[in-house]
Amino acid sequence: MYYRQLRKGVNDTKSVFIPADDPISKHVKLGVPFQDYYVSLYKYNEEQKEKFLQTNSVKGIDDVITDRLVFDFDDENPSRAKADAEAICQKLVEMGVEEDNLQISFSGNKGFHVEVLIDEHLTPSEHKAIAKQLATGLESFDAKVYDHARPFRALGSVNRKTGLYKTNLSVQEFLELDIDQIKEKASHYVDINKVFKPTALPETIKSLKHFAEDFKPTVKLITSTEVSMMNKPKFLTNCRFALQNGHFGAGERNQALMVLAATYRNQGFEVEHTYRLLKAVAEKQSARTGQERFSDSEIWTNIVNVVYSPSWKGGQYTCREKTNWLYDYCQSLGENKCKHTEDECFIEIDDFASKFANFALNINKNTLKLGVPPVDNRVMITTSMLVGLLGAPSGGKTSLLLNFLQQSNIDGIDSVFFSMDMGLPLVYLRLIQKHFGLKKEQVFELFTKDPERVGEIIHTIKDAYSLTKFSFKTGMTVEGMRNAVLDHQEKTGRKVKLVGIDYLECINGPYSDANANTGLIANQLKDLANDLDTCVMLLLQTQKQSGDPSDPLLSMRNVKGSSVIEQACSVILSLSRPGFSAVTPENDRFATISTVKDRMGSLMSMDVGWEGLTGSFYDLSDEDYMLLKEIREKKKIEKEQANGGWSS
């Protein structure tokens, strides 16, 4: 006999076990205000139940099973979670699940659950593998629910935070009602009267359990005599080229063709081209193994139709992660496996010309904006550039980089930010201040007293930086950053065009001498920008003799560290704040942005407005220019007096 764990409240330590097939309502009274109940997704046998009762812990009891395929979608904006839940329902139906077998429910807060009662058992690893493969690209999908120890809110149970009930929805209600109408329905308890019968999982879905972390593919080691890499197209990795040539087993056809379909789509192949390519792959595999060929209908329905559906968000499979079917397959290629650290040194002249032609024809797409119009109108920043941003400590460099990231999101450009100096809390505080102009005391007070306002803030920040990935790991190497960017691109199928790094001296290098390290790292970053066709913005510190943030920076000789840094950068921007002063902070309203090196243009220096709290830049008025002139003249006099009447 099997049991489920039942808890009265998420933190209840006195779980009870009920027969797995019993409805919850047989053991507790549902619909009670302020009382929530949780039931395990997984089933326990007699031995596991006894072990729990002895230890009052599920630790070590991980060989549990479930007869439900569950998807959990959560988002601060429930409409996005609803859209993703609709997408998974559509995909399940397309893959053979009957619409009547879909159990859809509103969670009672900010999400939706989709369940299918099945006539077989899945392990937690198999359950997670199937769900993750089907939900690829759906951003609100929450994979935490597959933890064998994680409780799951019972249908008909109230959410204490909102006072709303987890409520069952018919397919028609789910599709036709908006969020407000669904919440209205969930404001009171509705007795659950529909009984779902177990259904058989379609083979196309069942086969996805082979993506489980503990699944080991039975792939025959492919030797160099069986597959040659000499004619490999440049857009294919070694393992994908082997798959394209039919080197996979019958039990791996679904995985192999899904990997290739995702690759073709992300390379811009139209659906008809992908369909015909996969048919050719299936024919090669059949001829090589003597097995029956994957049918055209299976290729179209279960592979092409899934990858090219509107719900597919550009995800791609990677052979870099060890908990991945493609990784194990790639390793089986022996000497032909992908060598991710190998760099090609030489480029043929034909490739040289074609790469530049592609760059020139797409110059608008390859040009990035700082989000400071006066600078953007005079300085050209493109992909493949290493751009240095020079400034004194506390001079506003991070604010300008955050401005760059925000503008890139507005322009639809994917970016990553390696913040090795400032930790997560400080960066997030900066983002809040940038968008809302709040003092830190106001921010902390809001987070303790006004959860509704906090929700608005979180939603705004999430939307503003949805295309930016943040890393707060310290002491990373350039190679580590390269691999992180490549992994991100492989997983998402989207090109990263901006890499922000704060700051040079935080990057780990092999030498004990600081100058030797910074010189090597600068050249490595230049190669990274070229190899990945991305713009790298690197924050740079000033020499000590350069002064404080108010002193102008008009030479790249002010860069701290090896002179190699100056040579490696295509553009070096400097940032100073003429009105910076602890005595007269009200004058700190200006910034001077200069190009002290520009391989694609002439040097320049321009003044802009500076708003310290939000870290934003703006055009100056005539009155602003007059005040700035007075500030500079006063500073010049003070400097002359400090030097005994001589101006340096």
Q: Is the pLDDT of residue 287 over 80?
A: yes
Crossing angle of helices 440-449/451-464, nearest 10°?
120
Weakest mean pLDDT among 35-44, 338-347, 554-563, 632-641: 338-347
Give the residue with greater pLDDT, 464 vs 544. Answer: 464
The residues, any chain, with a CB within 8 Å of residue 640's CB and separated by 6 or more, are 646, 647
Segment holding 514, helix H or strand E: helix 514-531
Weakest mean pLDDT among 223-237, 251-265, 433-447: 223-237
- Residue spans of beta strands (DSSP E) within 157-305: 167-169
DSSP readout, 67-108?
EEEEEEEE-SSHHHHHHHHHHHHHHHHHTT--GGG-EEEE-S
Weakest mean pLDDT among 226-240, 452-466, 607-621: 226-240
Give the residue with greater pLDDT, 436 vs 562. Answer: 436
Tell me the CA distances in angstroms from 137 to 84, 208, 294, one per residue in order: 9, 16, 26
Query: What confidence category does residue 218 fall into, taking pLDDT thresholds of 50, 70 and 90?
Result: very low
Weakest mean pLDDT among 274-288, 442-456, 503-517, 624-638: 503-517
Nearest Cα to 64, choosing from 48, 52, 76? 48
pLDDT for position 514: 86
Tell me the CA distances in angstroms from 489 to 266, 314, 469, 486, one per residue in order: 10, 10, 11, 5
Query: What confidence category does residue 336 fall into, taking pLDDT thresholds of 50, 70 and 90?
Result: confident
DSSP readout, 45-75?
-HHHHHHHHHHS--TT----BEEEEEEEEE-
Give the residue with greater pLDDT, 340 vs 617. Answer: 617
Average pLDDT of the chain is 87
The residues, any chain, with a CB within 8 Å of residue 187's CB and separated by 6 or more, are 163, 164, 165
The residues, any chain, with a CB within 8 Å of residue 40's CB and separated by 6 or more, are 4, 5, 6, 64, 151, 152
Over range 622-629, report the average pLDDT: 94
**pLDDT digits 0-9 by tens, 380-415:** 999 999 999 999 998 999 999 999 999 999 999 999
Tell me the CA distances in angstroms from 529 to 238, 346, 410, 490, one per residue in order: 23, 16, 22, 17
**pLDDT digits 0-9 by tens, 472-514:** 998 899 988 998 998 888 778 889 999 999 999 999 887 778 8
b vs e for 526-536, b when ≥16 Cβ sit within 10 Å of the residue's Cβ? bebbeebbbbb
Query: What confidence category does residue 350 fall into, taking pLDDT thresholds of 50, 70 and 90?
Result: low
Residues 416 and 500: their CA atoms lie apart, in Å, by 6
pLDDT for position 219: 43
b vs e for 22-40, b when ≥16 Cβ sit within 10 Å of the residue's Cβ? eebeeebebeeeeebbbbb
Crossing angle of helices 78-94/124-134, nearest 10°?
100
Residues 540 and 266: their CA atoms lie apart, in Å, by 35
Query: What confidence category does residue 221 fall into, taking pLDDT thresholds of 50, 70 and 90?
Result: very low
b vs e for 555-572, b when ≥16 Cβ sit within 10 Å of the residue's Cβ? bbebbbbbebbbebbbbb
**pLDDT digits 0-9 by tens, 579-597:** 999 889 999 999 999 999 9
**pLDDT digits 0-9 by tens, 88-146:** 999 999 888 999 999 999 999 999 999 999 999 999 888 998 998 888 878 899 988 88
Query: What confidence category does residue 224 fall into, taking pLDDT thresholds of 50, 70 and 90?
Result: very low
Burial class of residue 8 in the structure, from the number of CB atoms within 10 Å of its CB (0-12 exposed, 13-18 middle, 19+ buried): middle
Query: What confidence category does residue 354 fall into, taking pLDDT thresholds of 50, 70 and 90?
Result: low
DSSP alpha helix (H) spans, 332-423: 349-361, 363-366, 373-376, 397-410
Q: Is the pLDDT of residue 222 over 80?
A: no
DSSP alpha helix (H) spans, 385-513: 397-410, 424-436, 440-449, 451-464, 478-492
pLDDT for position 136: 81
Query: What confidence category does residue 343 fall into, taking pLDDT thresholds of 50, 70 and 90?
Result: very low
pLDDT for position 192: 67
Over range 621-629, report the average pLDDT: 94
Q: Is the pLDDT of residue 181 over 90?
A: yes
Identify the sign of the CA torsion 315, 321, 324, 329: positive
Distance of CA 647 to the CA centre of its chain: 53
Tokens representing residue 548 in the block: 């404080």
Over range 369-374, report the average pLDDT: 92
pLDDT for position 137: 79
Q: Are 37 and 67 in contact (CB under 8 A)?
A: no
Tokens representing residue 645 in the block: 């009447």
Secondary structure in 3-state letters for 268-324: CCCHHHHHHHHHHHHHHHHHHHCCCCCCHHHHHHHHHHHHCCCCCCCCCCCCCCCCC
**pLDDT digits 0-9 by tens, 27-73:** 888 877 777 888 989 998 888 888 888 887 777 788 899 999 999 99
Q: Is the pLDDT of residue 306 over 50?
A: yes
Q: Is the pLDDT of residue 647 over 90?
A: no
pLDDT for position 11: 66
Bridge partners for 389 per DSSP:
539, 573
Specify the amino acid at residue 480.
G
Segment holding 639, helix H or strand E: helix 622-642
Query: What confidence category does residue 216 fall into, taking pLDDT thresholds of 50, 70 and 90?
Result: very low
φ, ψ at 387 (rounded to 5°): -110, 125
Bridge partners for 607 per DSSP:
592
Q: What angle do CA 611, 616, 618 make, to 5 degrees?
A: 85
Q: Are 581 and 638 in contact (CB under 8 A)?
A: no
DSSP readout, 430-442?
HHHHHHH---HHH
pLDDT for position 332: 87
